[in-house]
A and B are shown apart, each in its own frame.
Chain A
Amino acid sequence: DAGVIQSPRHEVTEMGQEVTLRCKPISGHNSLFWYRQTMMRGLELLIYFNNNVPIDDSGMPEDRFSAKMPNASFSTLKIQPSEPRDSAVYFCAIRGPAGGPGTGELFFGEGSRLTVL
């Protein structure tokens, strides 16, 4: 059973501070996605990795956002410096194995709720 653990679950920080969100996929996968959920836009794709390599980061809002995946079991999303408009829920998801790309369903973590004051 694929699982995704995200931390922290909640973070409140002040504008200008650095924020690091973490994602630990439990079981095997080859694609990892970072999404941001806001009331206005719903789920937006920020970046995704295939085999630990960033493939498309066109959804990353600004240079203040960066993401890494040093190995298959860990990824980080960093915001530096953070701003109030970054307040959102950030989800990490992995694509499960299936008949092929696109058919594997996404397994989401429980999200990290970020509030920037």
Chain B
Amino acid sequence: ILNVEQSPQSLHVQEGDSTNFTCSFPSSNFYALHWYRWETAKSPEALFVMTLNGDEKKKGRISATLNTKEGYSYLYIKGSQPEDSATYLCAFTNTGNQFYFGTGTSLTVIP
């Protein structure tokens, strides 16, 4: 089992604040890194799939960067809104078939 770590475990921010969190994964045999957004009582939904070192992806106010050499990815949320409240999961794969998930960062945006 490969270790994928996310930090912080939980985060409370005020509406309008920008925030970021980290996903750390093994730097050897990298294949892809996924980010998922998981709202309470729903199923995880994909945000980004990243494959290349130095990748930067953006979707609205949310963006992510990838460093495969040192084994980390950052997820940024600019101007947080209450609807951004969710758990953000990253998943690492080294084979393309097995996905190893972190335990997630739980974000609460306070209005």
Contact = CB atoms under 8 A, between A and B. Distances in A.
A35 B99 CA distance: 10
DSSP majority for the B interface? loop
Contacts, number: 61
Interface string A38-66: 00011111001010000110000000000
DSSP majority for the A interface? strand
Interface residues of A, number: 27
B43 A55 contact: no
B74 interface: no
Interface residues of B, number: 24
Given A55-B97, A91-B44, 11 more contacts: A31-B97, A43-B101, A45-B100, A48-B97, A50-B97, A98-B49, A101-B31, A101-B95, A102-B51, A105-B34, A110-B43
